[in-house]
Structure 1
Amino acid sequence: MPRMIFVNLPVKDLAAAIRFYEAIGCEKNDQFSDDNSASMVWSDSITFQLLTHDYFATFTPKPIADAQTTTEVLVALSCDSREEVDTMTEAAASAGGKADIRECQDLGFMYGRAFADPDGHVFEPIWMDPEAVATAPGE
């Protein structure tokens, strides 16, 4: 079995969160979804598990961070092109998120933007020129 990552995120409105994650390219896996959580598949190895606050609280003794006022994590997502970075960021804004929560990063060989989902979780879609990566110093 390949190594996988499951990013568990607390959400206030599960239905709105599902719509948002579908808008940025995730597909809902009904097998692992119910009234308390939704399994949103980003790729063969990355899944966002969206959990209502009450359900999320059953997994941790700590208080749930308010991602609108604190930063708990930055999730970088690789994209195949600069255009995909832009498309995803615009889709995030159209689906209830906030686009460009910080300045766009354009280094020529690398391009990235940042957006927040409706609950404030921060995502950074990023594209890197594969040729530039292959010829990077130190390789």
Structure 2
Amino acid sequence: MPRMIFVNLPVTDLAASMAFYKALGFENNPHFTDDTAACMVWSEAINVMLLTHPKWRTFTDRPIPPATSSEVMLAVSCDSREAVDAMNEAAAEHGGTADINPIQDLGFMYNRNLADPDGHVWEAMWMDPTAIPSGD
């Protein structure tokens, strides 16, 4: 089996969260989706499992952090600066929050941070490795 990552996130409204992630470009994998959880696919290696709070609590007794906290920032690469901008716009239009941190534009790298409806923080980023300064 290839190495993959499954990011598990507790969500308050599964249908709304699925619609949010679909608007950002994720696709639903129906084989791992039911009324308590949904698998949203970013790439062959990256999957996000959206779990209702009751489903989440079957995995851990640890408290679910409030939407105003930042437990982690998950970065996903985009094909262009325009795709980064489009992801941020889609977040704002589908129940999330765009630009929760200042935009970072280093020329060779561009990123914008957003939050999903439950406050989970994502970084949409684009980078041109050939344009990274050599440091000379």
TM-score (norm 1): 0.93
Aligned counterparts of 1:136 and 1:3: Cα–Cα separation in 2: 31
Q: CA RMSD in A?
A: 1.4
> What is the match of residue 88 of structure 1?
87
> What is the match of residue 107 of structure 1?
106
Aligned counterparts of 2:91 and 2:53: Cα–Cα separation in 1: 22
Instruction: Give the drift of 1:69.
Output: 1.9
Aligned counterparts of 2:42 and 2:82: Cα–Cα separation in 1: 18
> Counterparts of 1:24-63 in structure 2 under 5 Å?
24-63=24-63
3-state SS of paired residue (2:28) = strand
Aligned counterparts of 1:72 and 1:12: Cα–Cα separation in 2: 17
Q: Does 1:13 align with 2:16?
A: no
What letter corresponds to residue 78 of structure 1 in structure 2?
S
Gaps of 5+ in 1: none
For each residue in 1:106-135, what CA deviation from the matched residue of structure 2 results, as whole angstroms up to 9, or x when unmatched?
1111100010000000000011113125x7
3-state SS of paired residue (1:58) = coil
Instruction: Give the drift of 1:63.
Output: 1.0
Gaps of 5+ in 2: none
Instruction: Give the drift of 1:136.
Output: 4.6
Identical amino acids, percent of aligned pairs: 61
Aligned counterparts of 2:64 and 2:105: Cα–Cα separation in 1: 34
TM-score (norm 2): 0.95
What letter corresponds to residue 100 of structure 1 in structure 2?
D
3-state SS of paired residue (1:19) = helix
Aligned counterparts of 2:130 and 2:7: Cα–Cα separation in 1: 30
For each residue in 1:40-67, what CA deviation from the matched residue of structure 2 results, as whole angstroms up to 9, or x when unmatched?
001000000000011101101211111x
Aligned counterparts of 1:114 and 1:90: Cα–Cα separation in 2: 11
Aligned counterparts of 1:8 and 1:136: Cα–Cα separation in 2: 37
